[in-house]
Structure 1
Amino acid sequence: MTTPLKLFYATGVCSLPVHIVLHELGKPFEVIRVDLRTKKLATGGDLADVTPKSYVPALELADGSILTETAVILRYLADTNPEASLAPRHGGIDRVRFDEWLHFISTEFHKAFATFTIMDRPSEESKRWAAERLAKRVTLLADGLGARTYLFGDSFTVLDAYAFWALRMYQALTKAELPETLRAYMTRLRDRPTVRSAFAAEAA
């Protein structure tokens, strides 16, 4: 029997998109909660023994190796489960455009939270600058979504799992309102059974 994938996660952080996608796949998987303050696993042991990066998400594959970085894990899950249609197949411009969006969310949006999350005592000026920069990224996401149901068309993909977490975090950090199209988009995602399942599992 194939060993299930194992997700090392912490509540409320960027492991949530991976947790959502694992539910989307409908296959058995295991989860291990991590205390990011102490870097300890709920099952005992240290996160550093899982990954020297000492942050989540970390995904243990069937062969026991560890995969890290949210965007990379999401792409891996989509590509190793093509029947789930969570990303376009490789070889065409659709996949290139898809990866362009995935990198945008990871590097231009997610990583821009740093002023609020890891900077030591940021000034009010720094927070205003960061919020204004993030707001421009939100506008780009809203324009990219347009009238579509999901970011890359009419079907849910790993992009949507990542965008859902990032937009929630943006609102929590900046207290800003989302454009109307993104508010409706977020409601659709919150109502998705796999999203509810991931939230329920992390609250347990």
Structure 2
Amino acid sequence: MKLYYTPGVCSLAPHIALREAGLEFTLEKVDAQTKRTDAGCNFLEVNPNGYVPALEIKPGTILTEGPAIMQYIADLAPSSALVPQAGSFERYRLQSWLNFITSEIHKGFSPLFKAEMPPEAKRIFRDQLARRFDHVERHLSQHEHLLGSGFSVADAYLFVTTGWSPFVGIELERWPALLAYRKRIGERPAVKAAMQAEGLIK
């Protein structure tokens, strides 16, 4: 398998999942501006939408969208316990968290990275993200992970997206449980390995 990625963006979450699952894979870096890969390929031929992640399962078979990719990866390695069993209520709870992260947190950050967005509009989006972080804080003040079963792909996704906070002027100190959670997740060997591979840490 090959993961198309850009350092530090949402593709870091399936990158972490691949390492947590212990699967064999290769990486191909994508320039977010030019849509060219390090190998010289036109990434738009891989994903016409132009954004990462994309997982090439075999030549000609591409899966896109991070939550779907992470569940696929986890199902390839059931012993890793990165997702609950298909059909179980806990699997739907996982999907609930993945949908919350992708629609309420991940997409909530997008306007904050746009230089043309007026400051007053960015304040509205920051306030909205703060309310979402309040929800996460309440949960993490009583739980080690998002699911009772332990670390899951949802944790990888939340770790990655909340890591963008300092770049858009959001200080996480007001959410101590979230800060402690990020420290725990960041100490996982697979998380460190993925971040090192993307040049995010030494």
TM-score w.r.t. the length of structure 1 is 0.92
Which of 126, 129, 140 is 1:131 aligned to? 126
Aligned to 1:157: 152
Please report how far the alpha carbon of residue 147 of structure 1 lies from its aligned counterpart in structure 2 after TM superposition: 2.6
Q: Distance in 2 between matches of 1:199 and 1:91?
A: 32
Aligned to 1:66: 62
Please report how far the alpha carbon of residue 20 of structure 1 lies from its aligned counterpart in structure 2 after TM superposition: 0.6
Please report how far the alpha carbon of residue 63 of structure 1 lies from its aligned counterpart in structure 2 after TM superposition: 5.3
- The within-5 A match list for 1:171-190 is 171-178=166-173, 179-190=175-186
1:18-49 deviations in Å (ceiling 9; x for gaps): 11111111121000001111111101121111
Which of 131, 136, 140 is 1:141 aligned to? 136
Count of residues in correspondence between the two structures: 199
Please report how far the alpha carbon of residue 187 of structure 1 lies from its aligned counterpart in structure 2 after TM superposition: 0.5
Please report how far the alpha carbon of residue 83 of structure 1 lies from its aligned counterpart in structure 2 after TM superposition: 1.6
1:122 aligns to what SS in structure 2?
Answer: coil
Question: Sequence identity, in percent?
Answer: 38
1:203 aligns to what SS in structure 2?
Answer: coil
Please report how far the alpha carbon of residue 170 of structure 1 lies from its aligned counterpart in structure 2 after TM superposition: 2.7
Contact 2:172 2:178 (C-alpha < 8 Å) held by counterparts: no
- The within-5 A match list for 1:20-99 is 20-62=16-58, 64-99=60-95
- The within-5 A match list for 1:102-113 is 102-113=98-109
Contact 2:165 2:172 (C-alpha < 8 Å) held by counterparts: no
1:38 aligns to what SS in structure 2?
Answer: coil
Contact 1:148 1:154 (C-alpha < 8 Å) held by counterparts: no
1:35 aligns to what SS in structure 2?
Answer: coil
Aligned to 1:168: 163
Which of 104, 108, 111 is 1:115 aligned to? 111
Q: Distance in 1 between matches of 2:182 and 2:59?
A: 36
Q: Distance in 1 between matches of 2:140 and 2:80?
A: 21
Q: Distance in 2 between matches of 1:16 and 1:136?
A: 24
Please report how far the alpha carbon of residue 115 of structure 1 lies from its aligned counterpart in structure 2 after TM superposition: 1.3
Contact 2:126 2:170 (C-alpha < 8 Å) held by counterparts: no
AA of the residue aligned to 1:90: A
AA of the residue aligned to 2:67: A
Contact 2:17 2:156 (C-alpha < 8 Å) held by counterparts: yes
Structure 1 unmatched ranges of 5 or more: none
Q: Distance in 2 between matches of 1:195 and 1:59?
A: 19
Please report how far the alpha carbon of residue 97 of structure 1 lies from its aligned counterpart in structure 2 after TM superposition: 1.5
Q: Which moved more, 1:184-193 or 1:137-146?
A: 137-146
Q: Which moved more, 1:10-19 or 1:86-95?
A: 86-95
Q: Distance in 2 between matches of 1:174 and 1:66?
A: 35
2:4 aligns to what SS in structure 1?
Answer: strand
TM-score w.r.t. the length of structure 2 is 0.93
AA of the residue aligned to 2:75: D
Q: Distance in 1 between matches of 2:166 and 2:130?
A: 10
Q: Which moved more, 1:19-28 or 1:150-159?
A: 150-159
Aligned to 1:9: 5
Q: Distance in 2 between matches of 1:60 and 1:173?
A: 32
